[in-house]
């Protein structure tokens, strides 16, 4: 695992051979972070890395100056690797939580400026994730949510959807929490109804 940019640029960490995760490729990660940088100021963000796996996205966010990052990972081996890497980098603004990501979405009281989710492609609940994020109000006003997913999924009908992009075999759907809703700016007089 390599950190691409920021204060920990070019740092590499050996991923244990018994890992089950499918880390986001460096090529895809570099390109999606170029998009993120144009959408949001990373240095002032609170960020959430769901299904954190190796912690690659969380550490990239830390390296690029995110104010605070939460990594959620349920697998013990992965969680321990993230904690070990956190200690190596002295990443005090990273909170690592070992729990099921879907449970976390349901129960957390925290909100975030940026959410990144890279669920297992075989997850039967993958298609539900955008709706769950927005139904549980995890994203701050004008916040960005990025979902990595297989090409079979299409999220263009989700109201907050803004963009789909592909890097090699990696698909990202990007959503923005448009707030306040447009309807708050529109007053319709009953005279015209």
Domain spanning 26-192: CATH 3.40.50.150:
yes
- Give the CA distances from residue 132 to residues 119, 125, 170, in Å, rounded to whole numbers and listed in that order: 13, 10, 22
Domain chopping of the chain, boundaries: 26-192
Cα(4)–Cα(191) distance, integer angstroms: 58
What is residue 184's predicted lDDT score, i.e. its pLDDT?
A: 39
- The residue among 14 and 21 whose pLDDT is bigger is 14
pLDDT at 186 over 50: no
pLDDT at 191 over 50: no
User: Furthest-apart CA pair in the chain: how many Å?
Assistant: 69
């Amino acid at each position: 695992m390599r950190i691409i940019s920021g204060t920990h640029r070019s740092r590499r960490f050996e991923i244990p051979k018994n890992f089950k995760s499918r880390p986001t490729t460096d090529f895809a990660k570099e390109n999606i972070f170029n998009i993120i940088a144009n959408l949001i100021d990373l240095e002032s963000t609170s960020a959430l890395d769901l299904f954190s796996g190796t912690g690659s996205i969380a550490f990239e966010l830390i390296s690029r100056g995110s104010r605070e990052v939460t990594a959620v990972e349920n697998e013990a081996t992965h969680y321990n690797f993230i904690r070990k890497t956190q200690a190596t980098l002295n990443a005090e603004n990273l909170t690592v939580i070992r729990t099921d990501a879907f449970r976390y979405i349901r129960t957390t009281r925290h909100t975030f400026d940026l959410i990144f989710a890279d669920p297992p492609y075989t997850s039967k609940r993958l298609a539900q994730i955008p709706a769950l994020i927005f139904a549980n109000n995890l994203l701050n006003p004008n916040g960005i949510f990025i979902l990595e997913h297989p090409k079979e999924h299409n999220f263009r009908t989700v109201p907050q959807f803004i963009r789909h992009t592909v890097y090699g075999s990696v698909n990202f759907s990007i959503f923005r929490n448009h707030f306040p809703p447009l309807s708050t700016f529109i007053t319709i007089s009953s005279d015209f109804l």
